[in-house]
Chains A and B, each alone.
Chain A
Amino acid sequence: MDVTSPAVVPGAVKPASWTKRVRQLVEGNLPMDHLLPDRQPYYVGSWVYVFGVVTIAAFAWVIASGIVLAFMGPQWWHDSGLGHFVNSVHFWSVQLFFLFMVLHLWGQYFMAGWRHGRAATWMIGVVVFGTSILAAFTGYLSQQNFASQFVAVNAKDAMNGAGIGAFFNVLNFGQMYGLHVMLLPIGVTVLVVMHIVMIRARGVVKPIDAEGGARS
Chain B
Amino acid sequence: MKLKPMGATQEEYYRGVRMVPYDLVKELVLAMAGVGVLALLAAAVFSSPDVAPVTIAAWAHGDPVDFVTTATGELAGSTTSAGYGNPYNTNGPGQSWGPIAPQQWFGNRIPIDSASTYVINPLQRASFSNADLGTALNTWQGAGATPQASWVDAYTKALANATVSGGQVSVATGDYGPLPVMMSNLLGVAQAGGLDGLLMINGRFYQTDYTQALLFMGDGSYLSGLAQQWNLTGSQWGMMNETGWYPGQTWLWLYTMWYQVFPFNSDSGVLGLNAGNADLGIIILMTLLTVALALVPLIPILRDIPRWVPIHRLIWKQYYAPKTTRGSHLIDRR
Residues in A lying within 8 Å of B, measured CB to CB: 1-3, 5, 7-8, 27-31, 34, 36-46, 48, 50, 53-54, 56-58, 60-61, 65, 77-78, 84-85, 87-93, 95-96, 98, 100, 102, 107, 109-112, 114-120, 122-123, 126-127, 130, 133, 136-137, 140, 143-158, 160-167, 169, 171-175, 177, 198, 201-203, 206-209, 212, 214-215
Contacts and interface: CB of A to CB of B under 8 A. Distances in A.
Contact of B53 (A46, A58, A90, A146): A146
Contact of A119 (B224, B278, B298): B298
Rank and list the top 3 A-B pairs by shortest CB-CB distance, nearest first. A163-B102, A174-B208, A161-B279
B70 to A, nearest CB: 13
Contact of A207 (B50, B224, B320): B320
Contacts of A77: 50
A57 B17 contact: no
Given A40-B19, A57-B36, A102-B251, 5 more contacts: A41-B20, A140-B239, A160-B86, A167-B109, A173-B210
Contacts of A165: 87, 103
A95 B306 contact: no
A51 B93 CA distance: 47
Interface string B66-107: 000000000000000000101100000011000000110111
Given A8-B7, A45-B20, A172 B208 contact: yes
Given A53-B31, A112-B306, A122-B296, A203 B23 contact: no
Contacts of A144: 53
Interface in B17-48: 17-25, 27-28, 31-32, 34-36, 38-40, 42-44, 46-48
B33 to A, nearest CB: 8
A9 to B, nearest CB: 9
A112 B303 contact: yes
B252 interface: yes
Interface stretch (B149-157, B161-169, B188-196, B309-317): B309-317
A206 B248 contact: no
Contact of A96 (B14, B39, B53, B105): B39
24 contacts: A2-B7, A3-B7, A39-B19, A44-B22, A46-B317, A54-B34, A61-B39, A88-B44, A91-B43, A109-B306, A110-B315, A120-B1, A146-B226, A150-B230, A153-B215, A153-B217, A160-B84, A160-B279, A162-B103, A166-B87, A167-B106, A171-B214, A207-B316, A208-B316
Contact of B307 (A39, A45, A61, A208): A208
Contacts of B294: 122-123, 126-127
A1 B11 contact: yes
A180 B5 CA distance: 37
B279 A84 contact: no
B177 interface: no
A202 B85 CA distance: 51
A108 to B, nearest CB: 9
B220 to A, nearest CB: 10
Interface in B232-259: 232-234, 238-239, 242-243, 246-252
Given A146-B51, A161-B283, A174-B209, A45 B109 contact: no
B138 to A, nearest CB: 33
Given A28-B7, A46-B317, A202-B6, A111 B312 contact: yes
A57 B277 CA distance: 40
Contact of A41 (B11, B14, B227): B14
B106 A166 contact: yes
B296 A201 contact: no
A7 B330 CA distance: 31
Contacts of A41: 14, 17-20
A202 B209 contact: no
A57 B31 contact: yes
A110 B197 CA distance: 55
Nearest to A161: B279
B297 A119 contact: yes
A154 B36 contact: no
A58 B95 contact: no
